[in-house]
Amino acid sequence: MNQIGVGLLGFGTVGSGVFHALRSQEDVIFRRTGTSLKVRTVLVQNHEKKRIPDVRSILTTDFSDVLKTDIQVVVEAMGGVEPALTYVKQAMEMGLHIVTANKELVAKHGVELERTARRKGVQFLCEASVGGGIPVLGTLLHFLKSNRIYRISGILNGTTNYILSRMSDEGDSFEQVLEEARRQGYAEADPTADIDGFDAAYKLSILGRIAFEADVPVSNIRREGIRDVTALELNLARRLGYTIKLLAVGEQYGENGPITLGVEPTLLSITHPLASVHGIYNAIHLEGDVVQDLTLVGQGAGDLPTSSAILEDLCNLFVLSPPKRSLSREPLLLPEEQRGGVRFVCLEPSQTSEDLNANELRQRLQSIGLPVEDTVVSPEGGAAFIIHRWHPSFPSVLVAELGWDISRMTIRPVHGAKRVY
């Protein structure tokens, strides 16, 4: 029998989930892998917190205790950059494998950690850091090796997806739904990382690194949160056949060509595979030159789904060899003024006259040379339209020609149709 000792850093939602799942799945894992995974030590911060009896005897608050135990793998489920970074590096230097759920750590220091792992001949696996239980990193690494991936689009944050789903279904405002989500435990006390798109940007950075074999720092990802998405927008978008999601999109224009990565509220046609992903679910739509398209949907957080990803990484440590991928390529970023595509423009009620109709609006916009197709006017005031072949000069045209106030207009990308590599 192959016994593998595990050192567990953190015993919160994820850490305790892993601890319990390793027990409940012990027989299954042994039967299928011939391996027995044993948690030998657990690191926490606060020795005074009440814990379940089984874990008390192996608890420590001193990381050096973890390194003294007979372990082959460290599972990092603490979160944050420090001290996680220091601990993970020390463990790898001692020849230990790493499995982590920490998206911030992987997004900010993944390249450096991956390099250390290669130098030391250990594995650094992080499936749980993106999409909870969804095996998207594994799919990209092992089942799309022969594909050139040209676009990844994802709903990567459950909290914001839940909020937008509720706003859309119930017509409530952002603040109302956020308050309710907090009460029901779907949103953190400090929801900034979710609401403002940081969490999704971390995950997109990790996905982009694997899919495009390119190192795009989080600071190079366009990022806009959902704070100012309005019920009016959601309503008018729906009447035009779209839903609005906080979408993370990475695209590459040609092999080794420029890349663009962004997280922002985005219109999706209601027929798009991601449009029906509601509530706390996460989903990733992958487009590659041979497979065409592939969508993975699952629970993006929670103790069980996240533990599943960690257990699977543990089972695969000694089985799957990581494919050869470049770590250092610094990609060209597509200049903002070259981002064409389709946009949705929504006007606040103050900008529209009472007797405006959709036809008239379209004609007026077309008459000043804008490639406008669909227009919709709200009975309560406000209007929206879709502009094709977007150009960054369009907003100033709207202001100059129609006298609209730029601060009373929202402009959002519309997720494009399929594109051939």
Ligand X SMILES: NC(=O)c1ccc[n+]([C@@H]2O[C@H](COP(=O)([O-])OP(=O)(O)OC[C@H]3O[C@@H](n4cnc5c(N)ncnc54)[C@H](OP(=O)(O)O)[C@@H]3O)[C@@H](O)[C@H]2O)c1
CA distance 106 to 176: 33
134 binds, among a copy of itself, ligand X, none (CB under 5 to 8 A by kind): a copy of itself
SS3 percent helix, strand, coil of the chain, rounded to 5, is 40, 25, 35
293 binds, among ligand X, a copy of itself, none (CB under 5 to 8 A by kind): a copy of itself
167 binds, among ligand X, a copy of itself, none (CB under 5 to 8 A by kind): none
C-beta of residue 82 within 8 angstroms of C-beta of residue 58 = no
Tokens 């969508």, located at residue = 295
Give the type of residue at 361: L
Number of residues binding to ligand X, judged by CB under 6 A: 23
Shortest distance, CB of residue 87 to a copy of itself, whole angstroms? 25
Shortest distance, CB of residue 112 to a copy of itself, whole angstroms? 22
Which of 21, 29, 39, 44 touches ligand X (CB under 6 A)? Answer: 44
Shortest distance, CB of residue 302 to ligand X, whole angstroms? 5
CA distance 381 to 387: 20
Q: Which residues in 289-308 contact ligand X (CB under 6 A)?
A: 301-302, 306
Phi and psi angles of residue 397, each rounded to the nearest 5 degrees, phi first: -65, -45
Active-site annotation holds for 203: yes
Q: Which residue among the candidates 103, 108, 203, 245 is catalytic per the annotation? A: 203
Is the bond into 265 cis (omega within 30 degrees of 0)?
no
CA distance 193 to 174: 16
Name the residues that contact a copy of itself, by CB under 8 A. 21, 24-25, 28-29, 31-34, 127, 133-135, 138-139, 142-148, 271, 273, 275-276, 278, 281, 288-299, 302, 304-305, 307-309, 311-312, 314-316, 319-321, 323-325
Give the three-state DSSP class for 405. coil
C-beta of residue 334 within 8 angstroms of C-beta of residue 253 = yes
Cβ neighbour number for residue 360 with a 10 Å cutoff: 13
- Binding to ligand X by CB under 6 A, coded x per residue (else -) over 2-41, reads --------xxxxxx--------------------------
Shortest distance, CB of residue 194 to ligand X, whole angstroms? 11
Q: Which residues in 155-194 contact ligand X (CB under 6 A)?
A: none
Q: Which residues in 72-111 contact ligand X (CB under 6 A)?
A: 77-79, 83, 101-103
Shortest distance, CB of residue 286 to ligand X, whole angstroms? 19
292 binds, among ligand X, a copy of itself, none (CB under 5 to 8 A by kind): a copy of itself
Shortest distance, CB of residue 307 to ligand X, whole angstroms? 9
Which is nearer to ligand X, 15 or 225 (by Cβ)?
15
102 binds, among ligand X, a copy of itself, none (CB under 5 to 8 A by kind): ligand X
C-beta of residue 197 within 8 angstroms of C-beta of residue 210 = no
**Distant-in-sequence, close-in-space partners of 234: CB < 8 Å, separation ≥ 6:** 164, 167, 168, 171, 243, 244
**Distant-in-sequence, close-in-space partners of 81: CB < 8 Å, separation ≥ 6:** 104, 105, 108, 109
132 lies in the site for ligand X, by CB under 6 A: yes
12 binds, among ligand X, a copy of itself, none (CB under 5 to 8 A by kind): ligand X
> 3-class secondary structure for 113-180?
HHHHHHHHCCCEECHHHCCCCCCHHHHHHHHCCCCCEEEEEEECCHHHHHHHHHHHHHCCCHHHHHHH
Which is nearer to a copy of itself, 178 or 259 (by Cβ)?
259
Shortest distance, CB of residue 22 to ligand X, whole angstroms? 15
Q: Which of 364, 308, 315, 329 is nearest to 24 (CA)?
A: 308
The residues that touch ligand X, with contacts defined as CB under 6 A, are: 10-15, 43-46, 49, 77-79, 83, 101-103, 128, 132, 301-302, 306
Active site residues: 203
